Amino acid sequence: MNGKDMEKKHYQTFDSIKETGPDGAEFWMARQLSKILDYAEFRNFLPVIEKAKKACENSGQQIKNHFVEMHEMVSIGSGAERKMESYALSRYACYLIVQNGDPSKPVIANGQTYFAIQTRRQELADDEAFQRLKEEEKRLFLRNEMREHNKQLVETAQQAGVKSNLDFAIFQNHGYKGLYGGLNAKAIHQRKKLKKSQQILDNMGSTELAANLFRATQTEEKLRRENITRKTKANKTHFEVGKKVRQTIEELGGTMPEDLSTPEEDLKKLERRVKSAEKKLIKNSELPNKLENGE
């Protein structure tokens, strides 16, 4: 079984043990998840849960909303079952658990991608304010998010040995190649038929920006989590994360990033237009006060 087949099998396995509560919320039972993640004994899985609970608390989330103590029926042989202490885990709890697991295990590595993407998709789906945004507004929002996370990625990559501008250009190309099926920044630029002065990220729709944002955030997390200190390893990590995101898009039946349409308006022009409109709005709102004061 090749890596892609193994990943698909893991994704299907995570889906197969997912349960749905009366309110429609998805959850996973801890003992079932521990078996899938290759923990022979549940007691060996408990320290990972405790680390995940701590991470949950540190992120400002309430532990009780994501780790619900309950009993789970466990087979004890000869068709008999026994109630044993367990947890009902939210998608976010599962994400934190696999983030604290052993990344050398393929099932853990695939779980990190699976639950991270599912969590991010749910966050955006649940964010009513984001859903109400028009496409142009989504582009502006995601591009600003991308700018902030790219700053963090630069800092983390520097700690991993990516020092010079040339180093970082090579590092970025590895991420693009993973996500865009082998295309580097120059090839993507040409495919989008952009002018020399135009930037790739300023000419993406919200779907493409979201994929790149996820590539950046997950690479930054992986570099930190695995304490990577060599630029060759950093480049490989960026490529692998980009490739994982691409494979997940394929699994979900999405359109490949390089096949997504390029918006008609460059984001730089869009930003200038929005700022101009804001200035006019401010100027118009000040006019009644000026008339009132006799100005």
Which uninterrupted H or E stretch holds 240?
helix 231-251
Domain edge (last residue) among 75, 109, 126: 126
% of the chain beyond a pLDDT of 90: 40
- State whether 226 and 117 are in the same domain: no
Q: Answer whether residue 239 shows pLDDT above 90.
A: yes
- State whether 146 and 223 are in the same domain: yes
Q: Give the C-alpha separation, 289 to 295, whole Å.
A: 9
Q: Provide the token pair at 223.
A: 């570099």
Backbone φ and ψ of 262, nearest 5°: -90, 125
- State whether 238 and 163 are in the same domain: yes
Domain edge (last residue) among 93, 126, 159: 126
Residue 285 CB coordination number (10 Å): 9
- State whether 60 and 76 are in the same domain: yes
The answer to whether position 284 is within a domain reads no
- State whether 43 and 118 are in the same domain: yes
Q: Answer whether residue 4 shows pLDDT above 50.
A: yes
The answer to whether position 286 is within a domain reads no
- State whether 119 and 146 are in the same domain: no
Task: State the Rg of the chain over Cα.
Answer: 23
Q: Answer whether residue 286 shows pLDDT above 50.
A: no
Nearest Cα neighbor of 19 from 30, 32, 28 is: 28
Q: Give the C-alpha separation, 177 to 173, whole Å.
A: 6
For 111-141, b where at least 16 C-beta lie within 10 A, e where not — what string? bbbbbbbbbbeeeeeeeeeeeeeeebebbbe
More confident of the two residues 8 and 71: 71
**Number of structural domains found in the chain:** 2
- State whether 164 and 81 are in the same domain: no
> Is residue 75 very low, low, confident or very high in pLDDT (cuts 50, 70, 90)?
confident
pLDDT digits (tens, 9 = 90+) for 15-39: 788 888 887 778 999 999 998 888 8
pLDDT digits (tens, 9 = 90+) for 153-188: 999 999 999 999 999 999 999 999 999 999 999 999
Mean pLDDT of 243-248: 91
Please name the residues in contact with 173: beta carbons below 8 A apart, sequence gap of 6 or more. 184, 185
Q: Which domain holds residue 102?
A: 1-126
Q: Answer whether residue 233 shows pLDDT above 80.
A: yes
The answer to whether position 115 is within a domain reads yes
The answer to whether position 95 is within a domain reads yes
> Is residue 80 very low, low, confident or very high in pLDDT (cuts 50, 70, 90)?
confident
The answer to whether position 275 is within a domain reads no
pLDDT digits (tens, 9 = 90+) for 84-114: 889 999 888 988 888 887 777 778 777 777 7
Q: Provide the token pair at 138.
A: 């989504």
Domain edge (last residue) among 126, 151, 182: 126
Sign of CA dihedral 89, 95, 100, 103: positive
pLDDT averaged over every residue in the chain: 83
Bin 169: left if φ > 0, else alpha if -120 < ψ < 50, else beta.
alpha
Q: Answer whether residue 60 shows pLDDT above 60.
A: yes
- State whether 98 and 207 are in the same domain: no
- Report whether 117 contacts 214 (CB < 8 A): yes
- State whether 86 and 209 are in the same domain: no
CA angle 118, 9, 112 (to 5 degrees): 40
Q: Match 């309950």 to its residue by tokens.
A: 70
- State whether 33 and 139 are in the same domain: no
Tell how strand 67-77 and strand 80-89 pair up: antiparallel
- State whether 117 and 153 are in the same domain: no
Q: Answer whether residue 274 shows pLDDT above 70.
A: no
- Report whether 37 contacts 277 (CB < 8 A): no
The answer to whether position 158 is within a domain reads yes
The answer to whether position 290 is within a domain reads no
- State whether 119 and 145 are in the same domain: no
pLDDT value at residue 285? 47
The answer to whether position 295 is within a domain reads no
- Report whether 218 contacts 156 (CB < 8 A): no
> Is residue 140 very low, low, confident or very high in pLDDT (cuts 50, 70, 90)?
confident
Please name the residues in contact with 27: beta carbons below 8 A apart, sequence gap of 6 or more. 18, 19, 20, 21, 68, 88, 89, 90, 91
Q: Give the C-alpha separation, 219 to 241, whole Å.
A: 6
> Is residue 207 very low, low, confident or very high in pLDDT (cuts 50, 70, 90)?
very high
